[in-house]
Structure 1
């Protein structure tokens, strides 16, 4: 039987013992926790247990989700072998230099990648339901950072 749960890491305690997400309601509680928590914990690193594991137990994918309580928006960054590194497409003129924090560590998201919180929630729920496939609800673009290869790139 396939384990379709998501592993979520956003607090220091979650790095070794991730929060397991198996329902849409738990996705909502996770996003709510990011919005209500400290600014240094406003992003999450997500893995799908339904996807393949590569050599040495490393996942073949990563999903980063950041949310802004002040602006009521969020951003997505996804890495999958079938599409490479991609980011959500925000509205024209949305922020550049977007950073959020996973367990106190800042993580850079692509410029102009912020979308509505409704769309963020929908995308994470779709990622859960689909077993870790690319969500179809947001538009996607190739992931580009302000400075390619800098240490805060989620995939460096």
Structure 2
């Protein structure tokens, strides 16, 4: 295993052949989400540096979403310790909707953070072998 690699799903073609994201790809990856269609602004990442469960599935999930119009993003991290979402500073009315290949995912209104923090968190996820990034604050979603 090479440290600093993750498999990503954020475009229809990734259903059969996951994209591979490395430390060197972070800016291009986030830019690709920003430049892509609004229906594909959320990605699912799994570090290849973490062991798989006995079932063969990853033991974690890292979601990365961006909103090009507002220049903000959201993050979610799930593993055996629970499910957390990013905690943003601005309180927003209602939930924030992001889309993974056309499928809507809602995030709490206070979960949006700057694109710069999204980039930093993705970099940390990769360089820490798939651990939950510590460069942002996290919150437990009330309902998810």
TM above 0.5: yes
Residue 137 of structure 2: which of 116, 136, 139 is its match? 139
Contact 2:3 2:127 in 1 (8 A): no
How much does 1:115 deviate? 0.3
* Matched residue, 2:57: 58
How much does 1:104 deviate? 1.4
Greater Cα offset, 106-115 or 92-101: 92-101
Contact 1:77 1:143 in 2 (8 A): no
Q: Deviations over 1:118-141 (max 9, x none)?
A: 001000100000000110110011
Q: Deviations over 1:26-57 (max 9, x none)?
A: 11111101111110011100000111211221
Structure 2: stretches of 5+ with no match in the other structure? none
2:133 match: secondary structure: coil
How much does 1:107 deviate? 1.4
Count of residues in correspondence between the two structures:
144
Q: Deviations over 1:86-139 (max 9, x none)?
A: 011011413531111111111122331000000010001000000001101100
Question: What root-mean-square deviation, in Å, do the aligned CA atoms of Structure 1 and Structure 2 show?
Answer: 1.4
Q: TM-score, normalised by structure 2?
A: 0.93
* Matched residue, 1:40: 39
Matches within 5 A, 1:94-113: 94-113=92-111
Structure 1: stretches of 5+ with no match in the other structure? 149-156
- Say if 2:25 is the partner of 1:26: yes
* Matched residue, 2:8: 8
